[in-house]
Homo-oligomer: A and B are copies of this chain.
Amino acid sequence: MTKNADPFAADRDQLGSALFTPRSVALVGASADPSKLASRPQRVLRKHGFTGTIIPINPARTEINGDRAYPSLASVPEKIDHAFIMVPSAAVPGVIDDCVEAGVKVATIFTAGFAELGEAGRRVQDAMVEKAHQGGVRLIGPNCLGVVNVSGHTVLSANAVLESETLHSGHLSLVSQSGSMMGAIVSRAQTRGLGFSKLVSVGNECDVGVGEIVDCMVDDPATRCIMLFLETFRDAPRLGLAARRAYALGKPVIAFKLGRSAVGRQIATTHTGAIVGADDVANAFFKDNGIIRVETFEALYETAQLVNGFKPPKGKRVSVLTGTGGAAAMVVDRLGLTGIEVVGPTPKIMADLALQNIQVSDAPLIDMPMGRGEGKVYSTIINALMDSEHCDAVVAVQGSTATQNPESVRQRMLAATLGAKPLAIFLAPQADTALRILQDSNVAAFRTPEACADAVRAYCEWQVPTDHPGIDPQVLQSLNTTLQSIVGVPMHEQAAASALSVLGIPFAPSQVIASGAESVALQFPVVAKILSADIPHKTEVGGVVLNIVDAIELRTTVDAMLARITQSNPQAHIEGVLVQSMARGIAEVIVGYRRDPDVGPVVMVGVGGVMAELGGGHAVRLAPLTLAEAHKMIEEVPGFALLRGYRNQPSGDLTALAQVIHQMSLLACVETCVVTEAEINPLLVKSDGVLAVDALLVTAALNKETI
């Protein structure tokens, strides 16, 4: 995307300056009493050397701690770039009106008590945002801890950590949905020698969200790596675009996101997924947009140094060198559990090292006690691994030397070919000095084997942002027309199948009959299914009969079914009975599509039919997707072992399956309505082709809330 084509560029420049480099800051609700929280931002601004104008707003004072105070924003004679609002929640909407009047560019609302408290709070918040939009004021928060520009000496926050800590300037920037975690991350990272450029606590994200902030950070020359501490998604599409821009500029985005477990989702967001768990969707979103996701807390800041300056790897192959077997085994074991390949040295490396009188085996772990050669041997091996194409990252583990002689750790690393590929150092003992020394030498160092393995895994799973395909214009037109005619209409199986057929998905031959008296031109055995948009769960009302062997049996079965269901479900409008030839595949598969409330259109594939309950796994991607990506999804599902040709059995037609996944994903392109949900379950995968035997489709009218 070129700068010219970037629709957000101008807005972003304006927001970024008011956010991070305001020349004047109004502290609305500032207190002169140092024991009050509302007195802190003024002290914090001064402590960190803010050189602009500080304007306390307090009707009871004309001066606070040396700054001229004003009774209201309206009474301030000069222009205000940024207002930091600390008044009680009931007074906030009035202050926003004042901001509009005064032409404030950005208002950061520290005050809590809005959407996070429920529906009433949300209404107040929404009204406030509406007015701010009309008046051209951008809002951060509410319920947030503030905005920090470390190198710009602008620390606009009520956070206790930011009052006490000395902030170190550096190349990391952080966006956090949790205010308190901003302080926790800063205190931990700074202890390790990491410095920051920009920090933003976004709170409720009523207006400016994570995505837009990231987009501003991408433009910050001092920012080389962007870290995200996320609890939910509120502006996923914008975040996706910002992350892709960061990727293009070589600035890695690293995310830690809560909500991996059900209880985690319960407390972090209100949304819970159906078959596609919400966290799989989050993962799909991150991968799709080239975001690196870590799963351990310390890895959030420890990974920055590891990936800085690198692109996604070709493979997932890691070489490990250690001076202490047990410690390295902890890292290797974790890597193995996450599917990363731990590779021993190649014959060439072994031969090259042998020429230098260093003997190593081809075992996955190169165990080289430190005593030998005072570290020179160790550095030589690291260089051999760094220079070789056989691995994508190198892990080096150090034992007691890291405590006994921290300086030697630096020497060894400085002798290494840094920059060829990511190098992660895990230090087994307590070795705070060595950790700091390594960071100061721009080497990624890790405190725990878990964070080390997690960071290396996260790097190995990092992907180039995914390309999404377009749709054939003719197919799109048919889809638009077909779906437009049935928007919002409850659909029975046959209607859904008919609509999905437009995409080219093959359905099993079927025929609808109104009574047993009608004959069918289908091959027996057949299945008979009640056809009614009012009966979504056919099996539960006895609306499915399998394995009907001939016309006589069909007749009695259909009449009995109609009689039974007419009686049990008198309100249901019954369209007839769908009769379908019985078919068998090598395996039954589910292909699903839905518009996820967090990230938008997604497509999934997994083990279908009753076997879905066996836990064979599934794969999820953002839609639409290419055929190649659909093939990758199929590879990810462990339960598809049967399809891949199990024990001399015939294998399934994976090309045809990939085609259906691709076709379903094109529902994201429909322009005349919103496809809320679509599902084929089961799709029979045969050795030659696939056959859909049941379908579901839910549509809704377009509205402005649609992602």
Q: Which residues on A are within 8 Å of B, measured CB to CB? A: 37, 159-161, 164, 176-181, 183-184, 187-188, 190-191, 229, 231, 258-264, 266-268, 296-298, 323-327, 329-330, 332-337, 342, 363-365, 371, 399-401, 403-404, 428-431, 448-451, 539-540, 607, 610-611, 613-617, 638-639, 641-642, 646-649
Q: 9 A-B residue contacts at CB 8 Å?
A: A179-B326, A188-B429, A229-B326, A263-B342, A263-B364, A610-B649, A615-B615, A615-B616, A615-B617
Residue of B at shortest CB range from A334? B261
Q: By the criterion CB–CB under 8 Å, are A330 and B297 in contact?
A: yes
Docked pose: A181 CA to B327 CA in angstroms:
7
Q: By the criterion CB–CB under 8 Å, are A403 and B268 in contact?
A: no
Q: By the criterion CB–CB under 8 Å, are A399 and B184 in contact?
A: yes
Q: By the criterion CB–CB under 8 Å, are B161 and A400 in contact?
A: yes
Q: By the criterion CB–CB under 8 Å, are B611 and A638 in contact?
A: no
Measured CB to CB, the closest approach of chain B to A45, in angstroms, equals 19
Given contacts A229-B326, A324-B180, A326-B176, contact A260 B610 (CB under 8 A): no
Docked pose: A451 CA to B641 CA in angstroms:
35
Secondary structure dominating the interface of A: helix
Q: Which residues from B are CB-within-8-Å of A332?
A: 261, 263-264, 267
Q: Which residues from B are CB-within-8-Å of A429?
A: 161, 183-184, 187-188
Residue of B at shortest CB range from A454? B450
Q: By the criterion CB–CB under 8 Å, are A638 and B615 in contact?
A: yes
Q: Which residues from B are CB-within-8-Å of A611?
A: 611, 614
Q: By the criterion CB–CB under 8 Å, are B259 and A326 in contact?
A: no
Q: Which residues from B are CB-within-8-Å of A181?
A: 324, 326-327, 428
Q: Which residues from B are CB-within-8-Å of A259?
A: 333
Docked pose: A161 CA to B327 CA in angstroms:
15
Q: By the criterion CB–CB under 8 Å, are A178 and B326 in contact?
A: yes
Docked pose: A176 CA to B614 CA in angstroms:
39
A613 partner, pick from B37, B187, B539, B646, beta carbons under 8 A: B646
A329 partner, pick from B37, B264, B342, B617, beta carbons under 8 A: B264
Docked pose: A607 CA to B638 CA in angstroms:
15
Docked pose: A327 CA to B256 CA in angstroms:
12
Q: By the criterion CB–CB under 8 Å, are B641 and A540 in contact?
A: no
Q: Which residues from B are CB-within-8-Å of A180?
A: 323-327, 399-400, 428
Q: How many copies does the complex hold?
A: 2
Q: Which residues from B are CB-within-8-Å of A448?
A: 296-298, 448, 450-451
Q: By the criterion CB–CB under 8 Å, are B430 and A188 in contact?
A: yes
Residue of B at shortest CB range from A320? B267
Measured CB to CB, the closest approach of chain B to A451, in angstroms, equals 8
Q: Which residues from B are CB-within-8-Å of A160?
A: 400-401, 404
Measured CB to CB, the closest approach of chain B to A524, in angstroms, equals 18
Q: By the criterion CB–CB under 8 Å, are B262 and A336 in contact?
A: yes
Measured CB to CB, the closest approach of chain B to A406, in angstroms, equals 12
Measured CB to CB, the closest approach of chain B to A681, in angstroms, equals 13
Q: A180-B326, A258-B326, A264-B337 are in contact. List 4 more A-B contacts (CB 8 A).
A: A161-B404, A180-B428, A267-B329, A613-B641
Given contacts A326-B229, A448-B297, contact A268 B610 (CB under 8 A): no
Given contacts A610-B646, A616-B614, contact A159 B264 (CB under 8 A): no
Q: Which residues from B are CB-within-8-Å of A190?
A: 430
Q: By the criterion CB–CB under 8 Å, are B263 and A184 in contact?
A: no
Given contacts A177-B326, A450-B450, A610-B646, contact A400 B333 (CB under 8 A): no
Q: Which residues from B are CB-within-8-Å of A183?
A: 399-400, 429
Measured CB to CB, the closest approach of chain B to A172, in angstroms, equals 15
Q: Which residues from B are CB-within-8-Å of A450?
A: 296-297, 448, 450
Q: By the criterion CB–CB under 8 Å, are B428 and A330 in contact?
A: no
Q: Which residues from B are CB-within-8-Å of A617?
A: 615
Q: By the criterion CB–CB under 8 Å, are A184 and B333 in contact?
A: no
Docked pose: A298 CA to B296 CA in angstroms:
13
Q: Which residues from B are CB-within-8-Å of A336?
A: 260-264
Residue of B at shortest CB range from A639? B614
Given contacts A159-B400, A164-B404, A326-B258, contact A184 B264 (CB under 8 A): no
Q: Which residues from B are CB-within-8-Å of A231?
A: 326, 329
Q: By the criterion CB–CB under 8 Å, are B297 and A449 in contact?
A: yes
Docked pose: A363 CA to B264 CA in angstroms:
12
Given contacts A267-B365, A428-B181, contact A258 B330 (CB under 8 A): yes
Q: By the criterion CB–CB under 8 Å, are A329 and B615 in contact?
A: no
Residue of B at shortest CB range from A613? B641
Measured CB to CB, the closest approach of chain B to A539, in angstroms, equals 7
Q: Which residues from B are CB-within-8-Å of A607?
A: 614
Q: Which residues from B are CB-within-8-Å of A431?
A: 187
Docked pose: A304 CA to B596 CA in angstroms:
44
Q: By the criterion CB–CB under 8 Å, are B430 and A187 in contact?
A: yes
9 closest Cβ pairs, A-B complex: A178-B326, A261-B336, A264-B333, A180-B324, A263-B336, A184-B428, A613-B641, A181-B326, A187-B429
- With a 10 A CB-CB cut-off, give which of A161, A176, A400 has the most chain B CB atoms: A400
Q: Which residues from B are CB-within-8-Å of A365?
A: 267
Q: Which residues from B are CB-within-8-Å of A646?
A: 610, 613
Q: By the criterion CB–CB under 8 Å, are B261 and A333 in contact?
A: yes
Q: By the criterion CB–CB under 8 Å, are B364 and A266 in contact?
A: yes
- With a 10 A CB-CB cut-off, give which of A191, A266, A297 has the most chain B CB atoms: A297
Docked pose: A378 CA to B428 CA in angstroms:
36
A161 partner, pick from B334, B403, B613, beta carbons under 8 A: B403
A430 partner, pick from B178, B191, B614, beta carbons under 8 A: B191
Docked pose: A648 CA to B336 CA in angstroms:
40
